[in-house]
Amino acid sequence: MKFLLYSVAGEGAQIAKRIEQEGNEVGVFIKDKLYKTVFDGLLQKVEPESFIDKETVIIFDLSGNGSYADTLKRKGHYVYGASSFADDLEHDREFGFNAMKEAGIQIPQYNEFKDWNEAKGFVQNSNNRLVFKPSGSMPCKLTYVSKDPEELVSYLDFVEKQYGSKIDSFILQEFIEGVVVSSECFCGREGFLFPGNHTVEVKKSMNDELGASTGCSGNVTWFLENSHILEEGVFKIEKLCKKHGYIGQIDLNAVVNEQGVFGLEWTPRFGYDATPTLLNLFQDDIGKFFSDMSRGQQGKTSVSTKCAGSVRVSIPPYPAEPLANVDPEKFSPSIGVPILGWEDVEEYLYFYEVKMEEGRLYHSDGTGVICAACGEDEDAAKSIDECYKTIKKLNIPDIQYRTDLSKVLSKMVKEVEEYV
C-alpha cells in the first residue's frame, strides 16, 4: 500500500515510519519551514501533488488543513484524520461548545469576550474561580487557570499587552473541581469503533507542577470496553461525526466529578503524546487499520488490555515556542546535537525532531522535542517505570524530562477509575 503523511511540523513522522516498516511505500510532506529537516534521512520527503495517486492513503496528523482534506475527499482520495468540521471543533470554541450542547454533553458556564476591559470588569465582579482560554494564532500556550480574581486581572493585563493583537476572542470559564481526563474514539464511515480509550496527562514541564505548560510532559492511556465517562461524554457526538463524514480520532477533554462529565474541549486529530503512546497497544498493522478506515471499511484491530505510558524527552530551548515568521536557523540553536544510545531501545522510542546523517542520529530543526519514551504494563506506575529504564540508556547533551511521573500519573489513573 501507499501512504502520504501530510504534516504541519512532522509530529506524525514516527507513525509514518512504523507504517513503512510494515512493508508499505511512505512519503512525508512537512508544511512548516521551521521543521523542514525533521526526519531527513529517515523518510522519503515528497510534494503531495506529485506523490498522490488514486490508491494513496493520505493521513493528516494535525488540525488546520481541513479544507484541503475535504477537497481531496471530493476528488475521490482516501483521507484519514482531517476535515473542516474537525478544524471548527478544535479551533472555534463556540462551535465546539455548541457541538457539546447539541450532543447533550454538560459544559461549565462560560462567557465569550472580545473586549479586554469588559472582561476585566466581569472578573472583578465575579466570586468564582475562572479559566482563561483564548482563540487565535497565539505564539505560545496562554490558557490559564486562575487562583483568584486579582491574579486573573493581572494576567489579562499581561496577555493583552503582549498578545492582544493575535487573539480573536477568548472565554472566561467557570473552574470545575474534579478529575481531568481525555476520552477518545476512532470514527469510521459507519460510526465509532470500540473499545474507546482514556488518557491522563501532565502538562507542566517541571516536577511538582512547576514551570511552563507544554503539550504533554507525560501520559498514561488505556483501552476499556465500558465506561460511564465515555457514555456521558465522547460517545454522544457519534451521530454528529457521521453526519459530517468525519473519519479519524475524536477526543473529548473533560472534568469528571459527582455531578457528571463536563466537556472542556475537543481534539479531533492525533494527540501528542497520547496517540504515539496508544499505538503501542495495537497488536496488528496500523497501516492496514488507517487504510481500512479511510476507505470506509470500518477498520478493526486487536488491542492490548495493558496500560501504555510515555515520558517526553527534550533539550533546550524547549519548551519555548517560535514566533511567527522567525528564521528557522535562529530558532534552532540545538540543531545537530547528537543523540546516542538509542539503538538498543529504538522500539520503545517515538521520535519527533530528529534527522539521520551518515548513520548517526541528530536533533533536526525544531523546538527541542527529541522523543517520547514509551512503556507498557498492567500497572500504570510500572508502565512509566519502563519509560525511565529506556531514558537511562540515552546519551543526549542537556537532556531534560520530568522524573516524578510514575507517582503522579498512577494517582491520576486511580482517580479516573473511581468514576469509570
CATH of the domain at 260: 3.30.470.20
Give the position of cell 496527562.
Answer: 201
Average pLDDT of the residues in 246-267: 96
| CATH of residue 316 | 3.90.600.10
Domain containing residue 17: CATH number: 3.40.50
**Domain assignment of residue 302, yes or no:** no
Residue 120 belongs to what domain range?
A: 110-174
3-state secondary structure the chain: CEEEEEECCCCCHHHHHHHHHCCCEEEEEECCHHHCCCCCCCCEECCHHHHCCCCCEEEECCCCCHHHHHHHHHCCCEEECCCHHHHHHHHCHHHHHHHHHHHCCECCCEEEECCHHHHHHHHHCCCCCEEEEEEECCCCCCCEECCCHHHHHHHHHHHHHHHHHHEEEEEEEECCCCEEEEEEEEEECCEEEEEEEEEEEEEEEEHHHEEEEEEEEEEEEEEECCCHHHHHCHHHHHHHHHHCCCCEEEEEEEEEECCEEEEEEEECCCCCCHHHHHHHHECCCHHHHHHHHHCCCCCCCCECCCEEEEEEEECCCCCCCCCCCCCHHHHCCCCCCECECCHHHHHHEEECCEEEECCEEEECCCCCEEEEEEEEECCHHHHHHHHHHHHCCCECCCCECCCCHHHHHHHHHHHHHCCC
Residue 251 belongs to a domain: yes
Whether 273 and 351 share a structural domain? no
139 pLDDT above the threshold of 60: no
Q: Is 331 found in the same domain as 363?
A: yes
170 domain-assigned: yes
pLDDT at 60 over 90: yes
Residue that finishes a domain, picked among 45, 70, 86: 86
The length of the chain is 420
The percentage of residues in the chain with a pLDDT greater than 90, rounded to a whole number, is 85
Within-domain flag for 37: yes
Distance between CA atoms of residues 15 and 237, nearest Å: 26
Is 129 part of a structural domain of the chain?
Answer: yes
Encode pLDDT of 208-248 as tens digits: 999 988 989 999 999 998 899 999 999 999 999 999 999 99
Does residue 282 share a domain with residue 187? yes
pTM: 0.93
Same domain, 133 and 157: yes
How buried is 161 (Cβ within 10 angstroms: 0-12 exposed, 13-18 middle, 19+ buried)? exposed
- Asked which of 294, 326, 341 is the last residue of a domain, the reply is 294
Within this chain, do residues 289 and 362 fall inside the same structural domain, yes or no? no
pLDDT tens per residue across span 69-112: 999 999 999 999 999 999 999 998 889 999 999 999 999 999 99
Query: How many whole angstroms separate alpha carbon 51 and alpha carbon 250?
Result: 28
pLDDT confidence bin for 142, thresholds 50/70/90: confident
How many structural domains is the chain composed of?
4
Question: Do 31 and 130 have their domain in common?
Answer: no
Strands 369-377 and 191-206: unpaired
Residue 205 sits in the same domain as residue 267: yes
Indicate whether 394 belongs to any domain: yes
Within a domain: 417: no
CATH number of 117's domain: 3.30.1490.20
Q: Are residues 322 and 384 in the same domain?
A: yes
Query: Do the domain assignments include residue 289?
Result: yes
Domain check: are 129 and 165 in the same one?
yes
- Among 249, 276, 304, which Cα is nearest to 89's? 249
Q: Are residues 184 and 282 in the same domain?
A: yes
- Structural domain ending residue among the three candidates 118, 144, 174: 174
Q: State whether 353 and 397 are in the same domain.
A: yes
Q: What is the pLDDT of residues 302-319, one digit of tens each?
A: 999 999 999 999 999 999
| Mean model confidence pLDDT for the chain | 94
Q: Tell me the pLDDT tens digit for each residue of 185-217.
A: 999 999 999 899 999 999 999 999 999 889 899
Same domain as 73, residue 145: no
